[in-house]
């Protein structure tokens, strides 16, 4: 330890984790798809064609929206879910472009059970000799993943490259479908950022009540000294301070059950326990 060097500040725990997208298999695979699409368009598509622009942008959107959604997770689970769905839709658009490329040139499209399709699909599974190759989030991992698929993606036959990319896009879409389903389950189970923030605030108030030496914030008109969130009249769980978004009372605050949507109990704001 170097004398005089200040210790690094402890990283404060966030209500909702975010980032870490480089470790997602969906992000790693869409990185391969994006890089391969750029190379494919340089080699086999007229650079003056609008198709080149559209394919590269669709591939980029599939990758970038996964990253953006992961970063947005800290503040909004709905934004994260929306962006991952955008990534999924962009890859569907790219999939059609590759299918159109093959159809317009009357090139063979591999059947889902064709030997070539199975060979590309099996590359997505780790091998005993290199188990970390598919999960390494560093640049070394990106190079290793490209090398794994290179015999197909660097092939001289455009039909081989297009078909291989179709296989990879199907794999990426499967991973994104699993990711979207998990995000939806998490939102239903745990609620969004605002619900977690309200629950954390209630927990802090309750902690302050148990510890009288920890005063409440007198500058907060909704949280005067000695204030305590009331209990839900329906289920008995703590209520959370909420703001009406629409209707005649839009903008007004009220107490809503922290167990919403399972419980829809409410109280007007003035009903608070001393």
State the Cα–Cα distance between residues 140 and 2, nearest whole angstrom: 32
Domain count, the chain: 2
53 vs 198: which has the higher pLDDT: 53
Is the per-residue pLDDT at 100 higher than 50?
A: yes
Look at residue 12 and tell me if it is in a domain: no
At residue 138 the predicted structure's pLDDT band, cuts being 50, 70 and 90, is confident
pLDDT at 273 (0 to 100):
44
Is the per-residue pLDDT at 14 higher than 70?
A: no
Phi then psi for residue 51, to 5 deg, are -60, -40
pLDDT at 39 (0 to 100):
97
Span of 23-37, 131-145, 150-164, 255-269 with lowest mean pLDDT: 131-145
- Angle at 22 (CA atoms; ends 73, 59), nearest 5 degrees: 90
Question: 119 and 74 in one domain?
Answer: yes
Helix axes 77-104, 25-44, angle to 10 degrees: 30
Look at residue 114 and tell me if it is in a domain: yes
Look at residue 123 and tell me if it is in a domain: yes
Question: 212 and 133 in one domain?
Answer: no
23 vs 193: which has the higher pLDDT: 23
Question: 140 and 98 in one domain?
Answer: yes
Look at residue 212 and tell me if it is in a domain: yes
Is the per-residue pLDDT at 29 higher than 80?
A: yes
Average pLDDT rounded to a whole number, residues 166-178: 96
Look at residue 88 and tell me if it is in a domain: yes
Nearest to 192 by CA among 108, 25, 75: 75
Q: Where among 190, 212, 228 does a domain terminate?
A: 190
Question: 35 and 99 in one domain?
Answer: yes
* Secondary structure of residue 98 in the 3-state scheme: helix
Look at residue 101 and tell me if it is in a domain: yes
pLDDT at 1 (0 to 100):
41
Question: 141 and 200 in one domain?
Answer: no
Question: 248 and 173 in one domain?
Answer: no
Range of the domain at 218: 193-268
Question: 118 and 173 in one domain?
Answer: yes
State the Cα–Cα distance between residues 104 and 51, nearest whole angstrom: 13
- Angle at 145 (CA atoms; ends 144, 151), nearest 5 degrees: 95
Question: 239 and 202 in one domain?
Answer: yes
Question: 201 and 154 in one domain?
Answer: no
Contacts of 73 (CB under 8 A, 6+ apart): 16, 17, 18, 19, 80
Q: Where among 170, 190, 210 does a domain terminate?
A: 190
Average pLDDT rounded to a whole number, residues 68-78: 81
**Phi and psi based region of residue 191 (left: phi greater than 0; alpha: psi -120 to 50; beta: remaining):** left
pTM across the whole model: 0.65
pLDDT at 2 (0 to 100):
45
Question: 253 and 176 in one domain?
Answer: no
Q: Where among 190, 214, 235 does a domain terminate?
A: 190
Question: 52 and 121 in one domain?
Answer: yes
Question: 169 and 264 in one domain?
Answer: no
15 vs 172: which has the higher pLDDT: 172
Span of 29-43, 45-59, 193-207, 260-274 with lowest mean pLDDT: 193-207
What is the residue-averaged pLDDT of the chain?
A: 81
């Amino acid at each position: 330890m170097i004398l005089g060097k200040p210790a690094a500040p402890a990283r404060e725990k966030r209500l909702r984790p975010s980032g870490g997208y480089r470790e997602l298999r969906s992000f790693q695979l869409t990185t391969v798809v994006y890089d391969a699409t750029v190379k494919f368009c340089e080699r086999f598509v007229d650079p003056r064609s609008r198709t080149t622009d559209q394919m590269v942008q669709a591939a980029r959107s599939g990758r970038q929206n996964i990253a953006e959604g992961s970063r947005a997770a800290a503040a909004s689970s709905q934004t994260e879910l929306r962006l991952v769905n955008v990534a999924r839709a962009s890859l569907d658009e790219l999939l059609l472009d590759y299918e159109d490329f093959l159809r317009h040139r009357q090139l063979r499209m591999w059947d889902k059970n064709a030997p070539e399709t199975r060979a590309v699909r099996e590359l997505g599974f780790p091998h005993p000799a290199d188990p970390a190759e598919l999960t390494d989030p560093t640049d070394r991992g990106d190079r290793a993943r490209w090398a794994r698929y290179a015999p197909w993606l660097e092939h001289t036959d455009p039909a081989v490259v297009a078909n291989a990319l179709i296989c990879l896009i199907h794999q990426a879409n499967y991973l994104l479908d699993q990711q979207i389903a998990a995000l939806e389950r998490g939102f239903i189970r745990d609620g969004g950022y605002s619900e977690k923030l309200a629950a954390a605030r209630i927990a802090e108030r309750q902690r302050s009540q148990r510890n009288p030496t920890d005063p409440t914030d007198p500058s907060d008109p909704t949280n005067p000294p000695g204030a305590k969130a009331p209990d839900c009249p329906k289920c008995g769980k703590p209520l959370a301070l909420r703001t009406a978004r629409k209707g005649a009372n839009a903008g007004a605050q009220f107490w809503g059950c922290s167990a919403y949507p399972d419980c829809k109990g409410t109280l007007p704001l003035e009903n608070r326990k001393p």
